[in-house]
Copies of this chain bind each other. A is one copy, B any other.
Amino acid sequence: MTTEDQGPDILCCPPLADHVLSEGDAVRLAAVLAALGDPVRLRIFSIIASQGETCSCNLEGPLGKSQPTISHHTRKLAEAGLIVGERRGRWTWWQVVPDQLDALAAVLGATVGADG
């Protein structure tokens, strides 16, 4: 399922080191981190992020994976709001959602408190 033009769900959580995460925020944030917590998905994401809009037909070669495997992983990334896809003919073209990556970096990037 591609997310198409409806905007993805962007993370909202304040920096991790600022306060104790609520259970709800932790569940949402963990889902995005878990989507990236897989080597194949990370490589797919880095291909799309570094090359710009990318056809799923151009992911097989660099990854050495079959199209069903690639579809499984792109779906996970899309569900996490990290990429969005547009179907053109038989292929989906993917691009990164910069706001989601920025939100994730902001959540992680806080200066750590007491122990500095």
Min C-beta distance of A64 to chain B, whole Å: 10
A47 contacts B by Cβ under 8 Å: yes
Can you name 30 A-B pairs with beta carbons within 8 Å? A16-B42, A16-B45, A16-B46, A16-B101, A17-B101, A20-B46, A20-B50, A20-B51, A26-B39, A26-B40, A26-B42, A29-B42, A30-B37, A30-B39, A30-B42, A31-B37, A33-B37, A33-B42, A35-B37, A37-B37, A49-B112, A51-B113, A51-B114, A96-B115, A98-B112, A101-B109, A104-B108, A105-B109, A108-B108, A109-B109
Q: How far is the CA of A34 from the CA of B62 in the complex (A)?
A: 23
A38 contacts B by Cβ under 8 Å: yes
Interface size on A, residues (CB 8 A): 48
